[in-house]
Amino acid sequence: MEVTRTGIPGLLVFTPSPHPDPRGMFSRTFDAEVASGAGIDPHAFVQDSLSRSHRGVVRGLHVRVGDGENKLVRCSSGAVLDVVVDLRPGSPSYLRWETFDLTGDNQVSVYVPAGCAHGFQALSEPADTSYRIDRPHDPADDLTIAHDDPGLAIPWRLPVTLQSDADRDAPRLADVRDRLGEIRPWTGHQH
């Protein structure tokens, strides 16, 4: 498994080596030793979740304020356009975003550090996305940013077919500046 650092400090990409054969495919999707070598405590993850989305669905952009949460995201089946936005005050990549093509075939995982917003769009029918997070969910810490915020100008690939009410009605960054101040500042420590 190869670990790649990105232009956003702490945002890591884990690329496995899937092994296709006549039966289908086998891939290791997580390796504690590799995670530890990249500076991630593999024992910190406390919840695993899965979402299934129809083609065109956008989920996000979601971030947790306060201590935030680190998450490991992977498309286990189908395909998604994955997006990460750095919202950590003081970060050298503040308000910068990166996109990733995650598929059930490539089994790539993205490690999203606390203070970064995350979202994705399902590119297939359906797309299953798996998450590992390092603290229990507390809805009081949830903050959603509009996926189509013109200040971010994220190039979603498909017309949006469906969103949750919270995602559809999410405010723009400019309208939640006070809540962004609740995000733990970047400390210069990166994995």
Q: Which of 62, 111, 118, 147 is catalytic?
A: 62
Residue 188's region, left for phi above 0, alpha for psi from -120 to 50, else beta, is left
How is residue 160 annotated by DSSP?
-
- The answer to whether residue 94 is catalytic is no
Beta strands 97-103 and 79-86, pairing class: antiparallel
Q: Which of 118, 131, 137, 147 is catalytic?
A: 131
In b/e form, how buried is each residue of 102-133, taking b as 16+ CB within 10 angstroms?
Answer: bbbebbbbbbbbbbbbbbbbbbbeebbbbbbb
Active site residues per annotation: 62, 131
